[in-house]
Homo-oligomer: A and B are copies of this chain.
């Protein structure tokens, strides 16, 4: 029946080429691939941050003859980095301050925020974020990554519009920005599905489903290149998850463990709500204190420096930090926490093999559970 139809081969060929052209034109797959590639190449940038983090440990380790000098090195380093980060951003592009997600939400709804997606902001954000993350403070990088990916997308669109034609469409740029939000998180954790879900949750009230495949495409490409780079770099043997779990395949978890998981989930939910609530209270309190407020507005660098001083004092390994694995960087502590080794038996912490980084969790006098609770309160809270 089908073979007798003379129009099929030509129309099939025609619709195939039409399909490919429209894929590039409407989908702007070229830009999506470029965006994914660019964000994945930020893997090289991770190395910078890792070096910054190592530098602090190296200074701390080298001065082990004098505890006071050790403390000074441990505290000065992040304070200097954070202050530089805050100052640099303030001078070059104040738009780069903060996480960036609220602003991206605003832009995606069609409001034009002046100077928010310029090259100057890009430079300020990248250098500011490098210093801030390199200081080892417990900071989230999802928000800034979403902003950086959006900056990349906007700059790419602007650059391509120099060639005219299909790249000049303004409404297409919003679609690119929506994809960029997914790429930001997808590349940050090498988790494209999580990235897309995050971008759906966070950026819109009504998510345009036509942007869904764009986000997936760019985020998957980005995460893929990110992990392939790790293989080429000889960090990994093959493509694997960034933070691996080691559940057994045949018996991933016991049914009796599930209530515990549920309790963790509920507690985390309420903990998160409490955090938001307390944060709002503190902000409102500070806003009411006109004097403090005016002082902080004038000396913009003082507040971050003070907070950094406090946090780094608390995590100082020979001091309070010994009770909360203060030595570990954020990535190291995540790796040890996702490790499938037993630290306790029937609710009682015993002498188990703490190999490698997990030794930081062990303390001669203090139970591992106390260490974990302190860690959660300090680093997560």
Given A212-B200, A212-B201, verify A253-B239 contact (CB < 8 Å).
Answer: yes
Given contacts A238-B253, A249-B249, A258-B239, contact A209 B212 (CB under 8 A): no
Are B207's CB and A200's CB within 8 A? yes
The residues in A between 38 and 76 inclusive whose CB is less than 8 angstroms from any CB of B are: none
- In this complex, what residue of B is CB-closest to A12? B277
How far is B193's CA from A159's CA once the two chains are assembled, in angstroms? 37
Contact status A200-B209, CB under 8 Å = yes
Contact A255 B239 (CB under 8 A): yes
Interface string of A201-215 (1 = CB under 8 A from B): 100111111101000
Q: Which residue of B lies closest to A5 (CB)?
A: B281
CA distance A193 to B212 in the complex (A): 15
- By a beta-carbon cutoff of 8 Å, the part of chain A in contact with chain B is 1-2, 5, 8, 12, 15, 19, 193, 197, 200-201, 204-210, 212, 228, 231, 237-240, 244, 246, 249-255, 258, 273, 277-278, 281-282, 285
User: Cβ of B206 and Cβ of A201 under 8 Å apart?
Assistant: no
Docked-complex contact A240 and B212, CB < 8 angstroms: no
| Residues A209 and B209 in contact, CB atoms below 8 Å apart | no
Contacts of A208 in B (CB 8 A): 205-206
- What residue of chain B has the Cβ atom nearest to residue A254's Cβ? B238
**A205 vs B250: C-alpha distance when bound (angstroms):** 40
Kindly provide the distance from the CB of A92 to the nearest chain B CB, expressed in whole angstroms.
34
A251 touches B237 (CB 8 A): yes
- A143 to B205 CA separation, bound complex (whole angstroms): 26
Stoichiometry, copies per complex:
2
Bound Cα distance from A258 to B220, whole angstroms: 13
Residue of chain B at shortest CB distance from A8: B281
Nearest Cβ in chain B — how far from A1, in angstroms? 7
A-B contact pairs, 12 of them (CB 8 A): A2-B278, A5-B281, A8-B281, A15-B277, A197-B197, A201-B212, A205-B208, A207-B207, A228-B255, A238-B251, A239-B258, A249-B249
Cα–Cα, bound, A2→B281 (Å):
8
* Chain B residues, CB < 8 A from A200: 200, 207, 209, 212
Closest residue of B by beta carbon distance from A210: B205
Docked-complex contact A249 and B246, CB < 8 angstroms: yes
CB of A204 within 8 A of CB of B209, answer yes
Contact (Cβ within 8 A) B278 A255:
no
Known contacts A208-B206, A209-B205, A210-B205; is-contact A252 B278 (Cβ 8 Å): no
Q: Which residues of B contact A231 (CB under 8 A)?
A: 255
Residues of B close to A212: CB separation below 8 A:
200-201
In the bound assembly, the distance between CA atoms of A23 and B364 in angstroms comes to 45
Taking the nearest CB of chain B, how far is it from the CB of A286, in angstroms? 10
The 6 closest A-B pairs by CB, nearest first: A206-B206, A207-B207, A238-B251, A205-B209, A207-B209, A206-B208
Q: A8-B281, A206-B208, A228-B255 are in contact. List 6 more A-B contacts (CB 8 A).
A: A193-B193, A200-B207, A201-B212, A207-B207, A207-B209, A239-B255
Chain B proximity of A168: nearest CB distance (Å) = 25
Report the separation of the CA atoms of residues A257 and B139 in the bound assembly, to the nearest whole angstrom.
Answer: 37
